[in-house]
Amino acid sequence: MVDGVALTYEHRSPAGVFALISPWNMPLYLLTWKIAPCIAFGCTAVAKPSEITSMTAYRMFHAHFQQVVIQELTISTVLGILLQKAGLPSGVVNIVLGDGQRTGAPLAASPSIDGVSFTGGTQTGIAIRRNTAHQIRKHLSLELGGKNPTLVFADAMQPELRERTLRIAASAAFENQGEICLCGSRIYVERTVYKQFVAEFAPYVATKYILGKTMGAVASLQHYQKIRGYLDLAAREKATFVTGSVPAVMDKHDQGGYWIQPTILTDVSKDSALQKDEIFGPVVTISPFEDEDDAIRLANDSEYGLAAVLLTNDAARLRRVGEQMMAGLVWANCWLVRELGTPFGGMKNSGTGREGGEYSRDVFTVVRTLHLGT
């Protein structure tokens, strides 16, 4: 009530039809993560999964099926049963399959689409913004690339903390073959323990991340060639391969998968593309830092700002340094822990908008303010 003159309140309604474009690295998780808040806030969806992992979405939308074998391929023949069994009306969630250029781009730019929730590469995010710039009304939530730092302070290498430090740094670097936008692919270690960390980190990785057992192949031939190109650059720039090497040239799927050994690089220039670009594979660089200020400067020296990892036994430092990280998500003495109600997204070229919990409300709804005179 405003001075007895009017009752004022906010009212939200669904923003409309959304394009939900998800990547190949966590196909089921990221697709369902977008669908859930979209329909929860009353919107309808046209989902476009990556063409590399479209079968995941296909099977989700075609959950109950009769198996038929055609040329040794098992396919499903009944449509939309899963969402129908959940009571969702026909047409609320739709799926289109295709590549980015011929399917994703026209979908995002369509005047019939009121919003886009996209997870993927920064260059694609730039293209979406460019192609929709004239559609001011369109809601955009873009979760893009990352080149994330892991900071290892000397006290994290104390004997009682060493295993935890190695485990977190290794998992942040090599889980899912490093094909996670949140991976810590730039490790910075306080100089007083730098040599010790490298000497202990390499055998730890070799023991825990074994191709074909605890570590899989990378997603595609195209991605294999991209990662190989960066490793070839590392060799040409005389970086030290603590583990790994430049893999073989491959132009077809002839080894049961696209296999790249977990690779640890040292002696990499801070201006190298190896430190700047999102390689998105099992490749990590390790560099020393001098003190806290130097660690913060190096960590923030990136066009990206998605995530960061801090490893230290100093509780005051965790907050002091963590609150200076130019990153949307900061993990201290842990990694990939999510409270799903908190905002997810990055700073700088890692995207715009936030999703998660009530933060998704701003993506999928429009708000109006009503003044009701007495």
Instruction: For the beta carbon of residue 367, count every other beta carbon within 10 angstroms.
Output: 11
User: Which is catalytic among the residues 143, 175, 179, 190?
Assistant: 143
Fold of 148-332: Aldehyde Dehydrogenase; Chain A, domain 2 (3.40.309)
Tell me, yes or no, if the pTM score tops 0.95.
no
- Give span(s): CATH 3.40.309.10, the chain: 148-332
Q: What is the DSSP track for 88-149?
A: PPTTSEEE----IIIIIHHHHH-TT--EEEEES-HHHHHHHHHHTTT-TT-EEEEE----EE
* DSSP 8-state assignment for residue 340: T
Question: Across 1-64, where does the E strand assignment appear?
Answer: 6-14, 17-21, 44-48
- Give span(s): CATH 3.40.605.10, the chain: 6-144+350-373
Are 127 and 105 contacting, i.e. CB atoms less than 8 angstroms apart? yes
pLDDT one digit per residue (tens) for the chain, 374 residues? 667 889 999 999 999 999 999 999 998 889 989 999 999 999 999 999 999 988 877 776 665 333 433 333 333 323 356 677 778 888 899 889 999 999 999 999 999 999 999 999 999 999 999 999 999 999 999 999 999 999 999 999 999 999 999 999 999 999 999 999 999 999 999 999 999 999 999 999 999 999 999 999 999 999 999 999 999 999 999 999 999 999 999 877 666 899 999 999 999 999 999 999 999 999 999 999 999 999 999 999 999 999 999 999 999 999 999 999 999 999 999 999 999 889 999 999 999 999 998 999 999 999 999 999 98
CATH of domain 6-144+350-373: 3.40.605.10
181 is catalytic: yes
User: Which is catalytic among the residues 43, 175, 179, 181?
Assistant: 181
Q: What is the spatial distance between Cα 298 and Cα 300, in angstroms, rounded to a whole number?
A: 5
143 is catalytic: yes
